[in-house]
Amino acid sequence: MNIIVVGCGKIGTTVLESLVEEGHNVTVVDIRPLPLTNITNIYDVMTVCGNGADCETLAEAGVADADLVVAATGSDEVNMLCCHVAKKMGAPNTVARIRKTEFNDDSLVKMKELLDLSLAINPDRLAALEIYHILRLPAAVKLETFARGNFEMIEIKLKEDSPFVGTPLYALRDKLKATFLVCVVQRGDEVFIPGGDFVLQDGDRIGITAKHRELQKLLRNMGTKRKQARKVMILGGSRTAFYLAKRLLAAGTEVKIIDEDRERCEALCELLPAASIICGDGTQQELLLEEGLDSMDAFVSLTGLDEQNILLAFFAAAHRVAKVIPKVNRKEQGSLAEQLGLETVVSPRKIVADMLAQHARALENSMGSNVETLYRLMDDGAEALEFNVKDDPRLVNIPLKTMQLKRQVLVAGIIRGREAVIPTGDDVILPGDKVVVITVAGRLNDLSDILK
C-alpha cells in the first residue's frame, strides 16, 4: 500500500520502520530537513520537507494516490488538521495521534466521527492500558487480550523449579489441571511453535493461551500466582502515569506518584484526588525508600529517560518489589534490560507501531476475514493475530486435524460468541467465529493464509 507518515519524531520513526518492514511504500513528511536526511540514510522511503497540514505539501507527497495517511507530529491539532485536509484531498483512510488528556474517551469518539478518522491513537493511554493489564496478572511477563477480554495470552519465563520444566507438553494439562495451550516458545534466539512431545527447559520464554479464569487456575496450580498489585508506586507524573493511575484507582488500588515538577504535581492533585502525589526527585533512592518502596506490590518507572527507568526498576527489584515495569522506547535498550534480568518492559512506540501494522493489514485484505487484532510476540519473533471468519469452504466445518496448515502456524483459540475454546484436532471453525492464530512462519493477511 501507499502510506504517508507525517512527522518523523520518536513515534513517527517507529511507525515508518514497522510499515517498511511490512513491505509498504512509505512517504515521510516533516517540516524539519535534518530528521528527513537521517531517515533517508536508514530507510528506503521517499521524503517531502514541509508542513503536513498544507495542501501543496500533501499533494507533493502523493496524497491523491495514498491508501493511508498517518499524522504523528508532536501537535494534536496539526495531526487532526492534516487528516482532515488529506481526507478532503482524496485519502480514503487517516490516522491521527491525539495525546492531550482533555481529549477524553467521549470527545475522542466525537472527534473521530467529525474528522472521519479511521483511527485516533493515544500512545500514552495505550501504554497505560498495557501496564494495567500486566499489574492485574503480575506473574506474566506480558499479557495480550483478544475478543474484548474473553480470551488471553500471557508470556512467562520458566525457572528451574517450574512444573513446566522437564514435562512433555501433552502431559501438562492433566498435571496442572487447567485448560490451556502452550502455543509458542522462545529458547535463546530461536522462536518456534512446539509439538505435543516437546519438553520445556529452564529459561524458556513461553506463550500460553487460555480463558482468564483458566489462566488464574494454571498460575495458582504452578505455584507462581502473585496477588494482584494493590499498592503501586509510579515514578514520573507523565500522561501515561495519569491514565494508569486513573485506572488503578478505579480498581481500588492504592497509588503513589512521585514527580519533581511542582506545577505538574499540583495538576495531578486536582485530577487524581484519591492518589498520593509526592513532589520530589524520584531518582534519589533515599526518597523512594522514605516513601515506602519496600512495602509496594509494584513499581512503574515512567520518566522520559530509558536508562533512568531501567536502573530504577533494578533498584526496586533489589528491594523485593514483586513487579517492576520500566517504560523503554528504544528497542535495543529494552532487549538489554530483559537480557540483564528485567521480566517486563513497556514501549509506547512499539504498541502504536503494532496497532498501525494491524490496521494496514486489515485495509490491505480483500477477502473479508479481516485482521482484527495483531500482537508481536517473543521479541518480534512471532505474531498473534485475531481474524473474523466468513463462510470460506476451505476453512469452515473442517476438523483442524485434517486441515493442511503451513509449518509453524497454529490455531490457538476459537471465540464463538462469548465462549472461548482452546481447540483440539476435532474442533471446527464456523462462520462468525473469531480465530486466534500464532505464526512464526511470516506474514498473514487473511485467515486463508494459514493453509498450504
Asked if the model's pLDDT at residue 19 lies above 80, the reply is yes
State the pLDDT confidence band at 368, using cuts at 50, 70 and 90: very low
Angstrom distance (rounded) from CA 127 to CA 242: 11
Angstrom distance (rounded) from CA 85 to CA 19: 22
Say what the pLDDT of residue 372 is. Answer: 78
C-alpha cell at 172: 501438562
Asked if the model's pLDDT at residue 265 lies above 90, the reply is yes
Which CATH fold would you assign to the domain 353-450?
Alpha-Beta Plaits (3.30.70)
Mapping DSSP to helix (H, G, I), strand (E, B) and coil, where does residue 281 land? Answer: coil
Say what the pLDDT of residue 226 is. Answer: 61
Segment 49-64 shows an average pLDDT of 96
Fill in the DSSP letter of residue 229.
P
Could you report the per-residue pLDDT of 431-449, keeping only the tens digit for each? 989 999 999 977 788 888 8
Compare 99 and 71 and report the one with higher pLDDT: 71
Domain 231-321 in the same topology as domain 2-121: yes
Domain segments of the chain as ranges: 2-121, 231-321, 353-450
Mapping DSSP to helix (H, G, I), strand (E, B) and coil, where does residue 260 land? Answer: coil
Asked if the model's pLDDT at residue 419 lies above 80, the reply is yes
Percentage of the chain lying above the pLDDT 90 cut:
55
Kindly indicate whether the domain formed by 2-121 is annotated with CATH number 3.40.50.720.
Answer: yes
State the pLDDT confidence band at 152, using cuts at 50, 70 and 90: confident
Segment 265-278 shows an average pLDDT of 95
Q: What is the pTM of this model?
A: 0.85
Segment 212-238 shows an average pLDDT of 82
Say what the pLDDT of residue 314 is. Answer: 95
- The domain 231-321 is placed in CATH, from the list 3.40.50.720, 1.10.10.10, 3.40.50.300, 3.40.47.10, at 3.40.50.720
Asked if the model's pLDDT at residue 106 lies above 70, the reply is no
Say what the pLDDT of residue 144 is. Answer: 83
- Can you spell out the DSSP letters for 102-147? TS-HHHHHHHHHHHT-SEEE-HHHHHHHHHHHHHHSTT-SEEEEEG
Asked if the model's pLDDT at residue 300 lies above 50, the reply is yes
Span of 162-171, 179-188, 360-369, 443-452 with lowest mean pLDDT: 360-369
Closest CA to 131 of 143, 113, 120: 143
Say what the pLDDT of residue 369 is. Answer: 44
Question: How many angstroms separate the Cα of 331 from the Cα of each of 23, 143, 349?
Answer: 20, 19, 9
Angstrom distance (rounded) from CA 190 to CA 196: 18
